[in-house]
Amino acid sequence: MKRVAILGPSTFSEEATRHFLGEDFTYVSYKLISEVFNATSSGETDLGVIPIENTLEGSVHLHVDWLVHEVDLPIRAEWVFPIDMNLIGYPAPEGRTDESNPFGYIRKVLSHHVVPAQCSRFMKQYLSGAEFEQVSSTAEGVRIVSSLQDPSVAAIGTAIASTNYGVPMLQKEIQDHKDNMTRFLLVGKEASELKPSEDMKTTILVTLPEDYPGALHQVLSAFAWRRINLSKIESKPTKKKLGTYYFYIDIAGSLDSVLLPSAIQEIEAIGCQVRILGCYPSYPYTN
């Protein structure tokens, strides 16, 4: 069975990956996302799972940075998964209940750094008196809460973490929007057989030539006149020289098509550097 590195256990990454890949894989949990990348890069696992973007938070920059700067792991698939955030902790100790705020007794909240952006309304309304402390995953927060057994410290995470660590669910579905989704990437050195998908995507990094006014316009027009759809374009620092950027571009389409390779050739011809991060199937959420 192929081995898949995930941030886990009892995380959203685990829930999303089990839903997508099923049980024909061996899941190997790591505490840090850097360990997921390293395990996949070193061959300890065949594949790795990276949360890359969220409806409410946007790109997870740290993970994009790892993908671009630290490893050379092609993207093999992407899928989206709904994210229901839950407040997990112990009930108010006797004498500490507050009519105006049922969670006013919570002084500290532990979770992954992407979580406050996904639960900002709930946190503003009920947890404004609590300090937020970042931990390596949502499940790690729940694990710490279970070890402390202190009602003033709570976590935000998955329903499965609440069950597995035996910490009560205080409030379900506290994310700002019902349709909160996270996009996950499957990365790995070798291609894996996956279920067929109607949609293919290609992700490229483009570095513009210096001293070429209008270069970005030319890049975009190479796609535009071929009617190739870009689903995302983000500029990011190259980290080599202050003020220099590359563009992270998600393209709807496959490198096997006629038009996309010629668009890439056209932008290389004006002096752009192009790195292909992957050409892969994309899957919408299906229940």
Ligand X SMILES: O=C(O)C(=O)C[C@]1(C(=O)O)C=C[C@@H](O)C=C1
Q: Report d(CA 107, CA 105) in Å as an integer.
A: 6
Q: Report d(CA 185, CA 47) in Å as an integer.
A: 10
Q: Is 112 in the site for ligand X (CB under 6 A)?
A: yes
Pick the stretch among 131-139, 169-177, 197-205, 233-241 that binds ligand X (CB under 6 A). Answer: 131-139
Assign residue 149 a region (left: φ > 0; alpha: ψ between -120 and 50; beta: otherwise): left
Q: Is 162 in the site for ligand X (CB under 6 A)?
A: no
Rule CB under 6 A: choose which of 4, 5, 9, 12 binds ligand X: 12
Q: Is 138 in the site for ligand X (CB under 6 A)?
A: yes
Q: Can you name the residues that pair with 184 across neighbouring β-strands?
A: 51, 79
Site for ligand X in 26-85 (CB under 6 A): 51, 54, 60, 83
Per-position x/- string for 238-257, each x denoting binding to ligand X as judged by CB under 6 A, each - no binding = --------------------
Q: What is the DSSP string of 110-130?
A: EE-TTHHHHSHHHHHHH-TTS
Residues contacting residue 90 through CB under 8 Å, at least 6 positions apart? 145, 149, 150, 151, 154, 167, 168
Q: Is 17 in the site for ligand X (CB under 6 A)?
A: no
Please, what is the minimum distance in Å from the beta carbon of residue 155 to ligand X?
A: 10
Q: Report d(CA 211, CA 166) in Å as an integer.
A: 60
**59 vs 192, beta carbon nearer ligand X:** 59
Q: Give the binding site for ligand X (CB under 6 A).
A: 7, 11-13, 51, 54, 60, 83, 112, 114, 137-139, 182
